[in-house]
């Protein structure tokens, strides 16, 4: 238990908010989570997480961090029926990027180097929430919206939160030495800052206009060997699909479109769209599956990074975390893992005290966010349908990645390194190690050449330039 008499308030009982509360419980006497929803007692989708009914799993790095913050948590998920890929068996994966299907037979060289847990978002969040509610100094106030911040008279420090009941509007004041905003993409922190006399943060954006149409399904045992069947949108096909295993015999199935292309509206049209992309055995499994709900649609307009790290002035006592700080195209599965990384950054910052905490937290977080941001934006800009500036660094990176993916069709070592980078265990720069570059080019030569020459500009449609979309 912490020895101080300080209190903290977390806005939002999302994955980001729950992980932040877990960290804060070690440093503050009381931690109060303010959540707008009345939280379900079972692992079901809720209004505040509209993407929860879609294929949605954290990267391996995020799961590692959850296991660190909650010892035994990962074993609990597996005992509850979650799937885990930790034996390197490539037949469990059916993954395609940019038209290249990664090797799906044999094993990766070091099976212990990647462990992926397949658990659907509602079950994961519910399991985390059960763990957090067992922490003696953490409480959750449900059914309340944060409607404002309290501050010192001169506005240099946030001192609490004004919350209102969603059913009646009745307000309560919560005093806090630290407020952490984890309310997601709809965060009102910029509005609250404006009311306190602070400038709103700069926003870096890349518009992608993604639409998901998805449905939870149940498969009979052994209907599908793969834990994941996935194909990303590609230049000649601005659609992709995902079919992820979860606990028990359930899967999440979805079709994704980009750049405003129309997504399926019902189960029949979803399967028709899937027929254009999925291998025959995956399509057959989807057609035989039992739908467990109606088709859910979810729209994601843009990657957006609110650059609090660039703000000249921010008040003490206020942090922003998770999607409220930066959110990415859900295709890449980075959001929950970046939030988990930010929770560790918060822990490390608090170990050195709370002096100048916002500046230290935002600058430290930006270093990790930048890696994920560049990876997401570069991948999105590989699609000609996405408008944005494509500097030479992105064109060269995407051309090299084309070689890596082509080579990963047959090279298990490249599959392993790509999966480690995709799962945020390693930085993408690890794919640039001499041994990896040699493998990529050797495989390309053996195949008679693959991808775009690094000296050439890949073909992309003419797009308006937008300086804010370039990663920095």
* Residue 465: inside a domain: no
Q: What tokens appear for 190 in the block?
A: 């910029």
Q: Are residues 140 and 40 in the same domain?
A: yes
The count of other CB atoms within 10 Å of the CB of residue 73 is 17
Query: How many domains does the chain divide into?
Result: 3
Domain limit, last residue, from 283, 300, 317: 300
Q: Are residues 292 and 310 in the same domain?
A: no
Domain limit, last residue, from 258, 278, 300: 300
pLDDT of residue 53: 82
pLDDT of residue 444: 64
Tokens 């990896």 correspond to 436
Q: Are residues 290 and 410 in the same domain?
A: no
pLDDT of residue 464: 34
What is the phi/psi pair of residue 227, to 5°? -80, -25
Which range of residues forms the domain containing residue 422?
A: 392-444
Q: Are residues 312 and 366 in the same domain?
A: yes
Domain limit, last residue, from 344, 379, 414: 379
Q: Are residues 361 and 218 in the same domain?
A: no
Q: Are residues 362 and 412 in the same domain?
A: no
Give the residue from 358, 306, 284, 300 showing the smallest Cα distance to 332: 300
Cβ(210)–Cβ(297) under 8 Å? no
* Residue 108: inside a domain: no
> Could you give the angle at the alpha carbon of 427 between the alpha carbons of 120 and 454, nearest 5°?
115
Instruction: Give the Cα separation of 27 and 5 in Å (integer).
Output: 9
pLDDT of residue 56: 83
Q: Are residues 292 and 216 in the same domain?
A: yes
Instruction: Give the Cα separation of 283 and 258 in Å (integer).
Output: 21
CA dihedral of residues 298, 301, 307, 311 (deg, nearest 10)? -110
Predicted confidence (pLDDT) per residue in 32-46, tens digit? 999 999 999 999 988
* Residue 235: inside a domain: yes
* Residue 213: inside a domain: yes
pLDDT averaged per 10 residues, the chain (length 472) = 81 97 98 97 88 87 98 96 96 96 97 96 96 98 97 96 96 98 96 96 96 95 94 94 94 95 94 96 97 94 97 96 95 93 98 95 97 95 94 94 95 97 95 94 65 38 36 42
* Residue 248: inside a domain: yes
The CATH number that applies at residue 151 is 3.50.50.60
Q: Are residues 403 and 296 in the same domain?
A: no
Instruction: Give the Cα separation of 7 and 380 in Å (integer).
Output: 41
Q: Are residues 69 and 217 in the same domain?
A: no
Q: Are residues 283 and 170 in the same domain?
A: no
Q: Are residues 192 and 265 in the same domain?
A: no
pTM of the predicted model, to two decimals?
A: 0.92
Q: Are residues 153 and 82 in the same domain?
A: yes
Instruction: Give the Cα separation of 292 and 273 in Å (integer).
Output: 19
CA dihedral of residues 61, 63, 69, 75 (deg, nearest 10)? -140
- The dihedral built from the CA positions of residue 372, 374, 380 and 385, taken in this order, carries a sign that is positive
* Residue 104: inside a domain: no
Predicted confidence (pLDDT) per residue in 187-246, tens digit? 999 999 999 999 999 999 999 999 999 999 999 988 999 999 999 999 999 999 999 999
Give the residue from 154, 190, 184, 235 showing the smallest Cα distance to 36: 184
* Residue 62: inside a domain: yes
Give the residue from 77, 83, 76, 100 showing the smallest Cα distance to 382: 100
* Residue 411: inside a domain: yes
What is the phi/psi pair of residue 430, to 5°? -65, -25
pLDDT of residue 466: 37
């Amino acid at each position: 238990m912490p020895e101080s008499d300080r209190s903290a308030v977390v806005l939002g009982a999302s994955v980001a908010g729950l992980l932040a509360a877990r960290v804060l419980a070690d440093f503050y006497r009381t931690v109060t989570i303010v959540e707008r929803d009345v939280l379900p007692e079972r692992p079901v989708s809720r209004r505040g997480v509209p993407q929860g009914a879609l294929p949605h799993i954290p990267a391996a790095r995020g799961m590692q961090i959850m296991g660190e913050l909650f010892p035994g948590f990962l074993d609990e998920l597996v005992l509850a029926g979650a799937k885990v890929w930790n034996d390197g068996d490539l037949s469990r994966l059916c993954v395609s990027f940019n038209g290249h299907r990664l090797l799906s037979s044999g094993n990766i060289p070091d099976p212990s180097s990647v462990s992926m847990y397949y658990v659907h978002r509602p079950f994961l969040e519910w399991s985390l929430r059960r763990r957090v509610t067992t922490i003696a100094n953490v409480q959750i106030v449900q059914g309340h919206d944060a409607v404002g911040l309290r501050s010192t008279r001169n506005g240099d420090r946030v001192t609490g939160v004004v919350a209102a009941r969603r059913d009646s509007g009745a307000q309560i004041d919560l005093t806090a030495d630290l407020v952490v905003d984890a309310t997601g993409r709809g965060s009102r922190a910029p509005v609250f800052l404006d009311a306190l006399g602070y400038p709103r943060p700069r926003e870096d954006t890349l518009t992608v206009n993604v639409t998901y149409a998805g449905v939870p399904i149940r498969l009979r045992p052994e209907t599908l060997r793969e834990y994941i069947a996935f194909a990303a949108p590609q230049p000649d096909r601005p659609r992709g699909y995902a079919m992820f295993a979860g606990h028990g015999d359930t899967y999440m199935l979805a079709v994704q479109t980009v750049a405003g292309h129309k997504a399926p509206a019902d189960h029949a049209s979803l399967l028709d769209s899937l027929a254009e992309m999925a291998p025959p055995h995956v399509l057959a499994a989807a057609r035989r599956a039992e739908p467990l709900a109606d088709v859910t649609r979810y729209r994601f307009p843009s990657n957006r990074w609110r650059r609090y790290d660039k703000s000249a002035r921010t008040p003490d006592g206020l942090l922003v975390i998770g999607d409220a700080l930066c959110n990415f195209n859900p295709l890449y599965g980075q959001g929950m893992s970046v939030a988990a990384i930010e929770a560790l950054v918060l822990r490390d910052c608090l170990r050195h005290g709370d002096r100048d905490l916002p500046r230290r937290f935002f600058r430290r977080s930006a270093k990790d966010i930048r890696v994920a941001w560049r990876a997401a934006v570069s991948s999105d800009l590989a699609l000609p349908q996405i408008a944005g500036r494509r500097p030479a660094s992105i064109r060269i990176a995407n051309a090299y990645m084309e070689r890596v993916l082509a080579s990963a069709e047959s090279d298990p070592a490249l599959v392993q390194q790509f999966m480690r980078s995709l799962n945020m265990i390693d930085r993408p720069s690890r794919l640039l190690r001499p041994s990896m570059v040699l493998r990529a080019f050797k495989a390309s030569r053996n195949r008679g050449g693959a991808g775009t020459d690094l000296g050439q500009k890949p073909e992309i449609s003419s797009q308006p330039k937008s300086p804010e979309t370039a990663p920095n």
